[in-house]
Amino acid sequence: MTKVLVVGSWGRLVHWTESTVEAFKQAGCDVDYFATNGRNSADALYMKLRRKLSGDDQAYVAEGLRRKIKKTQPDLIVFVLGAWLSELPFQAAIEASPQSVKVAWVGDLFDEVQCVFAKHMDWIFCTDTYFIELLGAYDHSAPTSYLPLAMDPQRFFPTDIPRSNKVVYVARNSPSRAELISKIQLPLMLYGKQWRKSMAKFNNSPHEISLHHLPISQLPQVYASCRAVLNIKNEIRVARGINMRSFEPYGCMTPVLNDDVADLGLCFELGSEILVYQNLEQLHEWHAKLTSDAPFAQKIGLAGHKRVIAHHTYVHRAQAILKQVGLK
């Protein structure tokens, strides 16, 4: 049985690390994990204090990772990089187990300093095709593959609950997101405490805003009980890539109204499995169609559900990594 160690932030909003751990288990691997932000609440608090007082918690992370690797002796180490680490943890991984295959799954835009992970990897998987070009521009020659984010069907699945006619948007705020939403003239249901920053822009908007953190445990029910989900890329984190929001609503058979990002066509059949808007006028047109034609929304939701279940679960991603590095 292949032994896998998943390294990443634990307990974050998107649960990317947790979903990756579960996926490798379902793929038949012996799986353990190392949380780079602390193995428990006390450890996380200690790391925050250490970072605040000395400006450096990475030596502590590296030493913890070194001990974990020596204990587990994994065949494969998967770094889930939605947050950046210094070079120390990557060096620790090589020192602790030089024979382990080491891969990074990269989910955010990075600069040349943050790209330090690349020279220590046997393979790099990117959620955004632009990241592959970026690695080349920084003269890193490690093999790379496009590997988008995915959906966890154990968390997101169809439920027999009544649907409202709402189009919902659950996301962190960003300047371009707030600017677009302030111009949308049809009603949205916004979730997230960060939208408080943009309240002034929404004074005359038709939107309903819930200024509270929405835990991931409640997210499936929100998706299952609405008509459609809006998606807008975060320009701070991606260039061409698509986030979890393009996949997860389809676990609940809920259609997604997505902005026109370049990688979307690599994952869905545009127009029949996912709806795409290129400008505000198109967004309004699709919003009106979805909220006035429930059978149409249901048709898109079902088609997207079939696509995601067949190709875009985290188990598919785990199997792709294992196959690519020769462990399957």
Backbone angles phi, psi at 38, to 5 degrees: 115, 135
What's this model's pTM, rounded to 2 decimal places? 0.93
Enumerate domains of the chain plus CATH numbers: 3-150+313-324 (3.40.50.2000), 167-311 (3.40.50.2000)
Task: Provide the pLDDT for residue 60.
Answer: 83
Q: What is the pLDDT of residue 140?
A: 82
Max intra-chain CA distance, the chain: 60
Virtual CA dihedral for 223, 224, 225, 226, nearest 10 degrees? 50
Q: What is the pLDDT of residues 244-275, one digit of tens each?
A: 999 999 999 999 999 999 999 999 999 999 99
Q: What is the edge-to-edge ordering of all strands in the sheet holding 101-106? A: 30-35, 3-8, 76-81, 101-106, 123-126, 144-146
Residue 117 has what DSSP assignment?
Answer: G
| Angstrom distance (rounded) from CA 67 to CA 318 | 24
Contacts of 295 (CB under 8 A, 6+ apart): none
Whether 259 and 282 have beta carbons less than 8 Å apart is answered as no
* Spatial contact of 244 and 151, defined as CB atoms under 8 Å apart: yes
DSSP assignment of 137-175: HTT--S-EEE----B-TTTS--------S-EEEE----H
Task: Give helix then strand counts, H and E, for the chain.
Answer: 11, 12
Q: Note the Cα 287 to chain centre separation in Å.
A: 24
Q: How does DSSP classify residue 55?
A: S
Q: What is the pLDDT along the chain (328 residues), one digit of tens a residue?
A: 999 999 998 877 679 999 999 999 999 999 999 998 876 776 666 666 766 666 667 888 898 999 999 999 999 999 999 878 999 999 999 999 999 999 999 999 999 999 999 999 999 999 999 999 999 999 888 899 999 999 999 999 999 999 999 999 998 888 889 899 989 999 999 998 877 777 777 778 899 988 888 888 999 999 999 999 999 999 989 999 999 999 999 999 999 999 999 999 999 999 999 999 999 999 999 999 999 999 999 999 999 999 999 999 999 999 999 999 999 8
- Reported as a single tens digit per residue, the pLDDT across 113-138 is 999 999 999 999 999 999 999 999 99
